Chain A
């Protein structure tokens, strides 16, 4: 029995788990939204519509088919990229979501990159200066960063960099194809706002992981071989400490996408959040359903990728139950 067989088995098991999770999540969303009080057909036509007109629209929208048929039709459609038609905007849901993802996805990526670039070095520095004033100062900083709501930090950033210094726009979004530079500038403050708590968490995790690794035998061996403490930590410590950091990073990215829904409010960005809120208030069930399942898919897929990356980096973990 070779290593490859183990790996294939592991891959198949994880993919099956991924598919099962998504199927059940879709079922939950469908069941919840199917119970929705309020008939979308009546909502579209208004209170004065005749029962015949409502019935006709219900048929046209496929609302009078049995629930299990509608569920299977929805899932089947999504597999080929068809998320249905928005009941209020009469446009394909997939198109509407893709349009908003042009804001949400880059924003999450920027926040992720910033939090890694800021958080990891802070964590490493703190671990190297463990117990000294630098360590204490950096960890107080991280403790504060974790406690600051990202959207409130966004408001403070706007006050400083947009209102007082006038370096960046207070909000709004210019599409990428119109002026990519301006679009990017509009992403900086929200990206920073999202990154602050994430960077603080990463710094803490990185420090903890590195401190743990430093206490292990192979670092002592490296030191005995004549490496300085910093050399030993850089060459042997950081790589080993990256494993727990990777897990947290994956979780963070998954939740960052959800976090943009809140932060985009501060900056009046036309992201997924605004689409969803409008859809809720207009009872656009098909759109809410599509947007939530997309968020769930992204969250679950990120966790799957982390799991797989973890197994490739450290094959010992393959057989371990989560």
Chain B
């Protein structure tokens, strides 16, 4: 990525900066938060924004800014691990489908059909029935949801590359399928993967919020943006503030990531500008 490129795409810069800023905010919470996250102070509960608590306090008197910081970290980590699983499993499958073709390709396509039949919520339900709810549950559910997405993106991108002369040349030079996939196909679909990764990261953050909200994701005493909304559920009619802060944080992070994703797509390959279909139906 060269810097001139960034200059020509201001929305990419804004989106990327905002997303990185949120990620840093979450990271900082590992070492420092305005107040200790677990510090309960019933006497000071339901405060609005005041000088001491910038974003107020929740039903247990905990500092909302501190909770949001740590919650943001959880959301990024869960969604990020989900993307890593999706890339780690999906991309090799997609590349293998192109490099080997035939029965391998058929198997990969059928496998991705079957995985598509299991929306993330259903996977989370099944895992929760087996092992009980938790962050790991959310990571696996989101990861499985991501696998066919990356398998298809990798296959689609690699199909176009596989017809190039240099791939035929590599084959003549005696390279096997695996070598061709690793040396020629993979490097050429990196930009596609980065763009899709950004989009899946934002979908993952939304999914984590949904799963934690219904009690299948992050569990107390850990916190996440979705879990904050779950806590707010029984109180938001009287104390709307409790639901406004974590909800808005999610919206801002997701917008930032989506703008960054769109910007990356335009910057890396202007031909893809109009193919903005990948936001899918999460």
Chain A residues packing against B (C-beta within 8 Å):
17, 20-22, 24-25, 28-29, 32-33, 35-37, 143-144, 146-152, 155-156, 158-159, 163, 170, 197-198, 201, 204-205, 208, 211-212, 244, 248, 251-252, 254-256, 258-259, 261-262, 265-266, 273, 276-277, 280, 285, 288, 292, 295-296, 299-300, 303, 321-322
Q: Decide yes or no whether B182 CB sits under 8 A from chain A.
A: no
Contacts across chains A and B counted by CB atoms under 8 Å: 148
Q: Which DSSP category, helix, strand, loop or mixed, fits chain A's interface?
A: helix
Residues of B within 8 A of A22 (CB): 117
Assess the B229–A296 pair: CB atoms within 8 A: no
Q: List 20 A-B contacts (CB under 8 A).
A: A28-B118, A29-B126, A36-B130, A144-B255, A147-B251, A152-B251, A158-B236, A159-B237, A163-B237, A208-B277, A255-B282, A258-B119, A261-B121, A262-B210, A266-B233, A277-B214, A280-B128, A292-B125, A300-B117, A322-B113
Whether the pair A211, B236 counts as a contact (CB closer than 8 A) is no
Complex: A128 Cα to B251 Cα, angstroms: 28
- Is A149 within 8 A of B258, CB to CB? no
Residue of chain A at shortest CB distance from B111 = A24
Are B233 and A265 in touch, CB under 8 angstroms?
yes
Task: Find chain B residues with CB under 8 A from A35 CB.
Answer: 130
The reply to whether B109 and A25 form a contact with Cβ atoms under 8 Å apart is no
Given A204-B279, A266-B233, A273-B214, is A147 in contact with B255 using a C-beta cutoff of 8 Å? Answer: yes
Our pick among B116, B214, B236, B254 for the contact of A159 (Cβ within 8 Å) is: B236
A37 adjacent to B247 (CB under 8 Å): no
Across the interface, name the chain B residue whose C-beta is closest to A212: B274
* Residue numbers in A under 8 Å from B61 (CB-CB): none
Give A55 to B129 CA distance when docked, in angstroms. Answer: 23
Q: A163-B237, A205-B276, A273-B214 are in contact. List 8 more A-B contacts (CB 8 A).
A: A20-B110, A21-B117, A152-B229, A155-B236, A258-B120, A258-B122, A280-B128, A299-B117
